[in-house]
Structure 1
Amino acid sequence: MPISTDLSAYGWIPIPVVCIRNGDGPTAVLIAGTHGDEYEGQIALMELARSVEPSQIHGRIIILPALNYPAVEAGRRVSPIDEGNLNRVYPGKAHGTATEMIAHYVTEVILPLADVVVDLHSGGRSLEYQPCALIRPSADRERHRQLLELVKVFSAPVSYLTDGNGGGGNTTLAAAAELLGVPVITAELGGGATYRQKGKDIASSGVRRLLSHLGIRKDREVAVADETRMTDVPGREYYLYAESDGLFEPAVAVGVDVTAGQHAGYLHSFCRPTEPPIALSFPASGLIACHRFPTLTRRGDCLYGLMRDISDN
């Protein structure tokens, strides 16, 4: 990626890409490191890149394990160069900021090559996630059917449909891919800006099953897909936000079913230590998808995200 700074007028920043191709067949694009503080996917894809031989595949695998390389190098959600959140600037700009250039390259060069995209995430330093897979509902009925099939093959413990209204909307990779007719499976695999073995195992097994399902790399050793719990996030009413600054004391862990009005925890005021804490309650019934990881909380921070069960028909 070309970059010009005070100390490097004609410089560039390397972004690693691994391309493994053999003969004709579908192309799978595998991405991690969109956010630099999310590690399970990065490690899973580096392991895959080291283990696949061209003779084992029919088609092409394109692996980008550190897509937002400046953020990965810094261990940050956003780029230290321009403070850009890569999953909030799609479709990007060819002559924009560093982050916009990466998004533009993915949109214009990588996505048109893809038959399927897997985008691996976790909660980073601000959230802890129930390991899950996400698909963006498609207006095209056949593509929506295909997405449901693929997310079941990936087989995270929980899968959910979301159009990004909780964050990102039409500025995400999945939104850009939908306009091009490319199916995307997104995964959330842990959080707290640390590595979770369970999340990495889900990513590795899910990717291997998808590659086998598409006929790119037949894999007899990967575990058979378990049934995934299908859910959705219908709106922002399934999120609980902090209404003031304070210290967040959660009462319920991720992956637990709760009911509307149930006690969710406390928000303690550090500037008014003698006042009772604010009692929090869940705004809706559902499964806890994520909760805030750091204790220190500012007004407007997301404390919990919920999902509700749906039929996948």
Structure 2
Amino acid sequence: MTNDTRIWTDVDFDKDGKQISCLRLPFSSDRSAYGTIPIPIVCIRNGVGPTALLISGNHGDEYEGQVALSKLARQLDAGELRGRIIILPALNYPAVDAGRRVSPLDQGNLNRMFPGDANGSPTDMIAHYVSEVLLPLADIVIDLHSGGTSLLYLPCCLIRVGKTAAETARLVELMHVFGAPIGSISDGSGGGGATTLSATAQALGIPALTTELGGGASLSRAGEKLARDGVLRVLKHMGILPDAIVEPAGPTRSMRVDGRQAFTYAPVRGIFEPAVAVGDEVQAGDIAGTIHPTAGPSEPARSVHFAQSGLVACQRAPALTEPGDCLFKLVVDMPLPQVPRINLAA
């Protein structure tokens, strides 16, 4: 893998003011031999100060963050800042434009391809540019996700356990500043593991917040508002938007995924009838739902049960399921030590 990115832009990241432009992703096709795919980017800078990298559209069918960051990009002026904000509201633009989780160009799941490859597929090239060019500029990265087409999510903010106690404390403080109802803390072993944007940021020593804000291929008004308010709270906390008027954060319940049995999977194909909803508390052995075979009553219905107790953090949105589809994810309470206040603007 080379460090020389093939993506370029006319944005000058060291220039004061507000620049609205794009990254140019080279993509040669039958209809456009020398073509590029424009990825929207906004850089707002005012003198010396911390840099926040704000991202949405990592998965194209997750809409709350895309709308929230687009609103912020339009509203913010350089004079309000002390430092720099870099906004990419549609990072995986081919997937965003298609309304899909993965890119239609190469079937690439961007948040499973970090740190990327400059000479790889289009999705590899995007991951590489973020890893090699944008992350080194950042003092914090916020990557806004939702449940997408396949999941409905309880709004939450996610962090990974830091490499030191001080790093973890810093992340926990930022998570509470963001102010989602649920704060989920991961040891990094689940999901995309070491191939996510947050994992790459952590390897570079950059604090990273991730969210889940809604889903079901719709736009949650509450999720979009939480994205906007949470981002503004963090920017004010870090001194980047010192005079921003923000709503105070509500309480955040600190939770975690307790192993692989937190997930409930479909054992057979059929129409899934859930017995519980996102936000419900369940006990091990409780019925999660029933799968009704598409063949009709000639085949028996199949009950599905929870393997452990916990809070339902997400639920499958489409009723039609295949074996192996995730139906539910549970989280459990996680006691945390007192977190010291840290001045991140210093």
TM over 0.5: yes
Q: Residue 271 of structure 2 aligns with which residue?
A: 247
Deviations 1:274-296 (A, max 9, x none): 23311111111111110100001
Superposition TM-score, scaled by structure 2 size: 0.89
Say whether 1:300 aligns with 2:324: yes
For 1:185 and 1:213, locate their aligned partners in 2 and report how far apart those are by CA, in whole Å.
14
Q: Does 1:167 align with 2:191?
A: yes
Which one of the candidate residues 158, 161, 170 is aligned to 1:134? 158
Conserved? CA contact 2:155–2:182, under 8 Å: yes
Question: Could you tell me how far 1:255 is from its partner in structure 2?
Answer: 1.0
Q: Which moved more, 1:278-287 or 1:215-224?
A: 215-224
Match of 2:228 in 1: 204
| Mapping of residues 47-86 of structure 1, within 5 Å | 47-86=71-110
Q: Is the 8 A contact 1:128 1:191 kept in 2?
A: yes
Instruction: State the 1:139 CA deviation.
Output: 2.0
Task: Note the alpha carbon deviations across 1:140-171, whole angstroms, 9 max, x for none.
Answer: 22211110010000010101012454421111
Determine what percentage of the aligned residue pairs are the same residue.
57
Partner SS state of residue 194, structure 1: coil
**Aligned partner of residue 132 in structure 2, secondary structure:** helix
From 153, 171, 174, the equivalent of 1:147 is: 171
Counterparts of 2:265 and 2:185, CA distance in 1: 21
Unaligned runs of 5+ in 2: 1-24, 338-346
CA distance in 2, matches of 1:216, 1:182: 16
User: Residues 303, 169 of structure 1: CA spacing in aligned structure 2 closer, same or farther, 3 A cutoff?
Assistant: same
Q: Secondary structure at the match of 2:111?
A: helix
SS in 1 for 2:115: coil
| Correspondence 1:14 to 2:13 | no
Contact 1:41–1:203 (CA<8 Å) still a contact in 2? yes
Give unmatched runs, 5+ long, in structure 1.
none
Q: Distance in 1 between matches of 2:323 and 2:137?
A: 42
Deviation, structure 1 residue 218: 2.1
Contact 1:134 1:162 in 2 (8 A): yes
Aligned partners of 1:169 and 1:272: how far apart in 2? 39
SS of 1:10's equivalent in the other structure is coil
TM (norm. structure 1) is 0.98
Alpha-carbon distance in 2 for matches of 1:10, 1:164: 39
- Secondary structure at the residue paired with 1:248? strand
Contact 2:232 2:244 in 1 (8 A): no
Q: Which amino acid in 1 is paired with 2:76?
A: V
Would you say the 8 A contact 2:281–2:312 is kept in 1? yes
The equivalent of 2:308 in structure 1 is 284
**Displacement after TM superposition at 1:216 (Å):** 0.3
Kindly indicate whether the alpha-carbon contact (under 8 Å) linking 1:163 and 1:169 is maintained by their aligned counterparts in 2: no
In the TM superposition, 1:26-41 aligns within 5 A as: 26-41=50-65
| CA displacement at 1:20 relative to structure 2 | 0.3
Q: How far apart are the structure 1 equivalents of 2:217 and 2:187?
A: 25
Tell me how far apart the structure 2 counterparts of residues 235 and 176 of structure 1 sit (CA, whole Å): 22
Please give the secondary structure, in 2, of the residue aligned with 1:205. Answer: helix
* Correspondence for 1:5 among 29, 33, 36: 29
Q: Would you say 1:25 and 2:25 are equivalent positions? A: no
Instruction: Report 1:103-114 matches (<5 A).
Output: 103-114=127-138
- Indicate the residue corresponding to 2:283 in structure 1: 259
SS in 1 for 2:35: strand
Deviation at 1:256, TM superposition (A): 1.2
1: CA distance, partners of 2:292 / 2:272: 7
Distance 2:62 2:31 in 1: 29
1:97 to 112, 121, 129: 121
SS at match of 2:312: strand
What's the C-alpha RMSD, in Å, of the aligned pairs? 1.0
Using the alignment, how far apart are the partners of 2:316 and 2:244 within structure 1?
39
User: In the alignment, is the contact (CA less than 8 A) between 2:266 and 2:304 conserved in 1?
Assistant: no
Q: What SS class does the counterpart of residue 34 from structure 2 fall into?
A: strand
Which residue identity is paired with 1:200?
E
Match of 2:248 among 213, 219, 224: 224
Q: Deviations over 1:31-77 (max 9, x none)?
A: 00011111100000010011111110100000000000000000000
Give the Cα–Cα distance (whole angstroms) in 1 for the partners of residues 45 and 258 of structure 2.
40
| 1:45 match | 69
Paired residues in the alignment total: 313
Q: How far apart in 2 are the matches of 1:152 and 1:244?
A: 40
Contact 2:161–2:188 at 8 Å: present in 1 too? Answer: no
Give, in whole Å, the separation in 1 of the partners of 2:58 and 2:187.
Answer: 18
Counterpart of 1:70, as a letter, is P
CA contact (8 A) 1:129 1:189 kept: yes
Residues 208 and 219 in structure 1, CA contact (< 8 A), matched pair in contact too: no
